[in-house]
């Protein structure tokens, strides 16, 4: 499998992108600030996602952080204090740009996304984490919703994301106490899929990405799209939507994956569902 590189936006420094064997490794790159999210990261992440969406060399996106942190959340000075002192329109543009990549783009990105939490993950970084489809953490990574300690609430869309991902008692405990916890606990409460020792983190994420790349990409996209829409629908609306989504997926799938899978299972006896993907090469 060949490697390829996607050039970062001109002058980009706060986000690093490399593509290797189908995996786009996207790193927030302010290690001296624990990758706190500032206007430069907002701008460069939107540009990076635009580029990766169109790049056929990218089949899975991994979001991580440079150095010893995933992200310490929003940069209080550059994201809040300085914009609040400027023109309100510019402030609104910044907030909309941040929502664009952390929420609207990431949650509905057409390619699978994985958060690789390699260290500190606080506040606004929870939205990045939860917008990704899947997440793997270093066992010793440090998580926290510490806004209460600053006299503020987990705003933006963070509280909504946490409420969707965690049970009420768990979510309110960490929101109301600001108590930090490690990667092992994050896995226990379902904030991440699993936690592994730090020296195994990248290898485990790469293995997960390779599993995703074996699947039909068109159907994989339809699976995640369907999930995000039906989780807020009624049962009746969900049944109607998923029936229509299933028909749309079959009609638009360039691989005709359902026909390949059935032929290999029923006629050729070469495929056993539940034990892996059908052979997409034929």
DSSP 208-274: HHHHHHTS-HHHHHHHHHHHHHHTTS-HHHHHHHHHHHHHHHHHH-TT-HHHHHHIIIIIS----TT
φ and ψ of 208, to 5 deg: -65, -45
Which pLDDT score is estimated for 10?
53
CA distances from 6 to 47, 53, 63, 114, 141 (A): 12, 11, 15, 18, 29
Which pLDDT score is estimated for 6?
45
HSE at residue 58, side-chain half, CA atoms within 13 A, is 25
Which pLDDT score is estimated for 110?
95
CA proximity to 131, closest of 163, 159, 108: 108
What tokens were used for 59?
């089949």
pTM check: above 0.85:
yes
Which pLDDT score is estimated for 11?
56
Q: 61: which DSSP letter? A: E
Residues of the chain short of pLDDT 50, as ranges, are 1-9
Which pLDDT score is estimated for 92?
81
Q: Please, what is the Cα angle at 205 between 194 and 173, to 5 degrees?
A: 30
Which pLDDT score is estimated for 79?
67
Which pLDDT score is estimated for 98?
83
Q: Using CA atoms, how far apart are residues 131 and 127, in angstroms rounded to an integer?
A: 6
Strands 23-28 vs 15-20: parallel, antiparallel or unpaired: antiparallel
Q: Which residues contact 48 (CB under 8 A, 6 or more apart)?
A: 6, 8, 9, 12, 15, 17, 26
Please answer whether residues 8 and 15 qualify as being in contact, where contact means their C-beta atoms are separated by less than 8 angstroms: yes
CA distances from 9 to 25, 49, 78, 206, 274 (A): 15, 11, 21, 25, 41
Q: Using CA atoms, how far apart are residues 208 and 20, in angstroms rounded to an integer?
A: 14
């Amino acid at each position: 499998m060949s490697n390829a590189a996607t050039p970062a936006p001109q002058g980009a420094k706060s986000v690093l992108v490399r593509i290797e064997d189908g995996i786009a490794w996207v790193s927030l790159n302010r290690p001296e600030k624990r990758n706190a999210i500032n206007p430069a990261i907002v701008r460069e992440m939107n540009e990076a996602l635009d580029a990766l969406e169109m790049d056929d060399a990218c089949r899975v996106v991994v979001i991580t952080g440079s150095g010893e942190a995933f992200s310490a959340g929003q940069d209080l000075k550059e994201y809040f204090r300085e914009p609040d002192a400027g023109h309100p329109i510019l402030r609104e543009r910044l907030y909309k740009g941040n929502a664009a990549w952390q929420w609207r783009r990431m949650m509905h990105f057409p390619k699978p996304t994985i958060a690789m939490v390699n260290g500190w993950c606080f506040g606004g970084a929870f939205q990045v984490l939860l917008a990704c489809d899947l997440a793997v953490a270093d066992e010793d990574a440090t998580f926290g919703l510490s806004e209460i300690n600053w006299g503020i609430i987990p705003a933006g869309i963070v509280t909504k994301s946490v409420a969707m991902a965690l049970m009420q008692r768990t979510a309110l405990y960490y929101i109301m106490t600001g108590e930090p916890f490690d990667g092992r606990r994050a896995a226990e409460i379902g904030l991440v899929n699993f936690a592994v020792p730090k020296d195994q983190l990248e290898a485990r994420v790469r293995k997960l990405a390779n599993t995703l790349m074996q699947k039909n990409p068109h159907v994989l996209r339809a699976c995640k799209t369907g999930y995000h829409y039906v989780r807020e629908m009624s049962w009746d609306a969900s049944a109607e939507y998923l029936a229509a989504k299933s028909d749309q997926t079959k009609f638009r799938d360039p691989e005709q994956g359902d026909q390949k899978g059935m032929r290999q299972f029923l006629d050729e006896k070469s495929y056993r569902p539940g034990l892996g993907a059908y052979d997409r090469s034929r």
